Amino acid sequence: MGEPVRRVLSRPAYLRELDASQVVEVGDVGTLAGLVAAGGVVVLSGAGLSTDSGIPDYRGPQGALRRHAPMTYQDFTGSPGGRQRYWARSFVGWRHVNKAAPNDGHRAVAALERAGLLDGIVTQNVDGLHEEAGARTVVDLHGSLDRVVCLQCGDVSDRGVLDDRLRAANPGFEEVARRALALPGADGEVNPDGDVALPDEAVDGFVVVDCLVCGTGALKPDVVFFGETVPRDRVERCLALVDAARLLLVLGSSLTVMSGYRFVLRAGERGIPVAIVNQGPTRGDARAAVRLDAPLGRVLPALAERLLP
């Protein structure tokens, strides 16, 4: 494989809060393939893996956090108005996420798992694209937009059923939203959480429905909002995967939030090497044995091509 390639990259301004002042690129696809070939790999994936499927990330150069304040758990649970705003906007944005298809990166990850090289996938994404691509051992760390949970009785139901109910309760809303998004200056971008910005006047008349099981409970997407805690049993399952891994492979995550970064720290505590593929710097760069700053849609298919018959 030759000597690893080392290249210093300047850090973009939008990630100045990261600890490291530089990204040091170490290795190439061949170096990465040499680590993955021995198997025992656990993948930690983030929003950067789904950008080629048309779902934006949070912290990339065009990331959602540059133009969008995501719904917080406190806003959602604290007021009917917060829930109305979320469901009106998500009623429009969810369709885009629901129609998204796995990209070459997702398919390459699934192929590596089928070949026995990956022992599990921990994803910070809520789009379900790993599973749709054929991956089997996937832990949805932050939940899934395909499910809805009642905050009162705990019933979990299908998002498609809720979508039908919201459409019936809000005849003509899709046209109202379409006109609002066509106005000059409107931001029609769909965010990773399935939210799309709508003006207050479009949201005000939206009717929110309650749980069908208990009759009065407020419904919430079965995802972990900003400010909400990931269920402990789910975290423990992910930590167990990392503890048993031979390599932690981070794909498309800046690792800015502790929710994902904790697994890099855990790997370090256990002496497990970490490899990172991401466009732009990450919080874990200084801890990576291999670090590639490159598009996942190019790296992952090339990796699979090297390792699979």
Residues of the chain with pLDDT under 70: 1-25, 58-69, 183-189, 192-193
In this prediction, residue 191 carries a pLDDT of: 72
Structural domain that includes position 12: 6-55+102-142+229-307
The set of catalytic residues is 142
**Residue 270: partners with Cβ closer than 8 Å, 6 or more residues away:** 242, 243
Asked which of 170, 194, 223 is the last residue of a domain, the reply is: 223
Q: How many domains does the chain have?
A: 2
Question: Do residues 22 and 280 touch, judged by C-beta distance below 8 A?
Answer: no
Is 270 in the same domain as 164? Answer: no
User: Global pTM?
Assistant: 0.86
Is 87 in the same domain as 112? Answer: no
Is 120 in the same domain as 256? Answer: yes
In this prediction, residue 67 carries a pLDDT of: 46
In tens, the pLDDT along 49-106 reads 999 999 887 554 444 444 456 789 999 999 999 999 999 999 988 888 899 999 999 9
Is 183 in the same domain as 213? Answer: yes
**Residue 112: partners with Cβ closer than 8 Å, 6 or more residues away:** 36, 41, 118, 303, 304, 307, 308
Question: Do residues 254 and 65 touch, judged by C-beta distance below 8 A?
Answer: no
